Amino acid sequence: MLVVVVDNYDELSRDGARRVADLVRKKPDCVLGFATGGTPLGMYAELIRLHKEEGLDFSKVVTFNLDEYVGLTPSHERSYHYFMSKNLFGHINVDPRYVHIPDGAAGDVAEQCDWYEARIKQFGGIDLQILGIGANGHIAFNEPGSSLGSRTRIKTLKEKTRRNNARFFSSLEEVPKYAITMGVGTVMEAHGLLLMASGSEKADAVAATVEGPITAQYPATIVQMHRFATILIDREAGAKLQGDYSGF
């Protein structure tokens, strides 16, 4: 596990985008795992800039998103389909046939989850999975208590997560109660992980993830077991780390 501490959110966004862009240039048909939430927005803006100004080519890239709310159709303005289209996919030359996001409106959720897992395998696994982290230690929608070996499935969202995400909805009541999410085991099978965190509200979660005991009560701690995990954080998010990571 490599911990990289940068000064601020802008640097975090540029550094994250550079890592993704390096992979796309090296392996134009790579499989990228994307995340939603506030953290990757700056990185997505930088990837759009790299596409528009430097010709970064996504035409052969395959993408898999971590999760989607159950009950929201892809066109719903609060769905993660909509989020990705608005903040990234609508501005780069990714091929829609290669874009995968769980269908939150699927009639048969179990079948949708099995299909998602099979589809990831069909493309040879995810080369680089981008991850945010919840203040409660969740990754994707794997809330505290999630099995560390779990696969793509439906999860009930914790009240704290619903409250955090209410900022994207007009009221708390509107925030869905369930989501389809890649499992912790699914995430851990990605060949590389890039976990990003910014701001002091993530400092406890980052300290537990990097230096705490591995526990299902803090699903993000499992990334300590990954050989190719990079934890990319800004100074505020790293403020509660005990170790010195300045050498990297």
User: What sign does the CA torsion over 98, 102, 108, 109 have?
Assistant: positive
DSSP state of 157: P
- Among the listed residues 136, 142, 164, 165, the single catalytic one is 136
- For 4, list phi and psi in degrees, rounded to 5: -120, 120
* CB 105, min distance to ligand PGA, A: 22
Q: Is-catalytic flag, 91?
A: no
Nearer to ligand PGA, 104 or 134 (CB): 134
Q: Does residue 134 belong to the site contacting ligand PGA (CB under 6 A)?
A: yes
Strand arrangement of the beta sheet that strand 2-6 belongs to: 2-6, 229-234, 192-197, 128-131, 31-34, 62-65, 99-100
CA 243, CA 127: separation in Å to the nearest integer?
29
Told to judge if 136 belongs to the known catalytic residues of this protein, a careful annotator would answer yes
Q: Which of 38, 74, 185, 192 is close enough to bind ligand PGA by CB under 6 A?
A: 38
Task: Return the residue of 17, 19, 24, 39 that touches ligand PGA, per CB under 6 A.
Answer: 39
Q: What ranges in 55-183 are assigned the alpha helix state H?
A: 80-87, 109-122, 159-165
Q: Which is nearer to ligand PGA, 39 or 112 (CB)?
A: 39
Question: Does 37 contact ligand PGA by CB under 6 A?
Answer: yes
Q: Is 129 in the site for ligand PGA (CB under 6 A)?
A: no
Site residues for ligand PGA per CB under 6 A: 37-39, 132-134, 138
Query: Which residues are tagged catalytic?
Result: 67, 136, 138, 143
